[in-house]
Amino acid sequence: DTAVSQTPKYLVTQMGNDKSIKCEQNLGHDTMYWYKQDSKKFLKIMFSYNNKELIINETVPNRFSPKSPDKAHLNLHINSLELGDSAVYFCASSQNRGNTIYFGEGSWLTVV
Amino acid sequence: SQELEQSPQSLIVQEGKNLTINCTSSKTLYGLYWYKQKYGEGLIFLMMLQKGGEEKSHEKITAKLDEKKQQSSLHITASQPSHAGIYLCGAAPSGGSNYKLTFGKGTLLTVNP
């Protein structure tokens, strides 16, 4: 069973569209994250949620809106997609802050 | 802000050789993580270190955190093609509500058979 699962794995879409990436974890963790890996493979945190509450919101455009309907899910919605949004988006989770963070397999977003 | 430097940026070794990857922080760390990423795949958790001087091993991979908690090394003994990939160190500068990982830029390891 996949511990942290993301869908879709690949997404190609046109500029200006709105898209969502879903993430679910079955580890019983209370903290979930979204990370972005750019074309240079640099991995950077975007958001962190603890018990459905937004804890960390790095400098991310307002077009990115995370939503956590429950502790096991953290979805990422992106409005008005731009070419620069093309990247790999990783969802992750951990139990309490300070413990091992487990990553999903990533979602490859290409904006054309 | 927290910065992590990884060295080398890339490494090519012959199968069977030992190798070391380093990760240096500009600040004292709360926790240091090592992950491996294969092309087109997600991040695989390898090890987490929190105490100064701590050392952990898993199969042929050993990770150490120095006493000052600012530098970590990842050592692979008798490398195999299956070890190839990008190795990323991630550091948590602090615990508590601001807990997050900052990553280095990765080390690309190629193991030639």
Residue A45, chain B, CB below 8 Å: the answer is yes
What is the C-alpha to C-alpha distance for residues A29 and B81, in angstroms, rounded to an integer?
34
* Per-residue model confidence (pLDDT) at position B26: 84
- Flag whether pLDDT at B109 surpasses 90: yes
The Cα-based distances of B85 to A5, B44, B46, B107 in angstroms read 21, 11, 13, 8
CA gap A4, A24 in Å, rounded: 6
Closest CB to A56: pick one of B31, B45, B98: B98
Report DSSP state, residue A33: E
Optimal mutation site among B1, B2, B38, B100, interface A, most CBs of chain A within 10 A: B100
Pick the residue with more confidence: A24 or B27?
Answer: A24
| Average pLDDT of span B79-87 | 95
Q: What are phi and psi of A103, to 5 degrees?
A: -105, 150
The size of the A-B interface in CB pairs under 8 A is: 53
- Answer yes or no: is pLDDT of B60 > 70: yes
State how far the Cα of A71 lies from the Cα of A50, in Å rounded to an integer. Answer: 8
pLDDT average per 10 residues of sequence, chain A (112 residues):
88 97 95 90 88 83 93 96 96 83 93 96
CA distance A30 to A85: 28
